[in-house]
Structure 1
Amino acid sequence: MADGDASDDGADDSGPHVRSLLGAYVLEALAPEEDRRVADHLAECGPCGAAYLEVADAPSLLALLDEDDLRWPGAL
């Protein structure tokens, strides 16, 4: 892939793509206008929509964890 093609695959947020915002989007941590921009983009962009599907279940999976699950092994 040529350097000029990087913004066409949804891999970053430097162009119109929103992949770097998807974590915050699924956790509902974006400002309303940013949330709307991501939602609008996902409705139109196949690569970003596919990336969204990869992380969309993260909030429900995180809800299954308790505090002990989040501790680093061997931590105090």
Structure 2
Amino acid sequence: EVDRYISWPGQALSYKLGEIAIVRLRAQAEKELGDKFDIKGFHDTLLKQGSVPLPVLEQQIQAYIAERKKA
């Protein structure tokens, strides 16, 4: 693991930024949806995006929140 960080120092940072974004988006979804929040649905939406830039992921989660609010 140390060798990986030495040869690719930005890798750990990108993982941490992704984690922070996902935790923030989940908290937002839980707050906005209340009882309509579904952890499985949230994770399904998150994972089906694949490897995308964080702004794209945020747009998709915002769309998920809006859709769930209507349900």
Answer with 1 or 2: which has the greater Rg. 1
Higher RCO structure (Cα 8 Å, ≥6 apart): 2
TM-score, with structure 1 as normaliser: 0.37
TM-score, with structure 2 as normaliser: 0.39
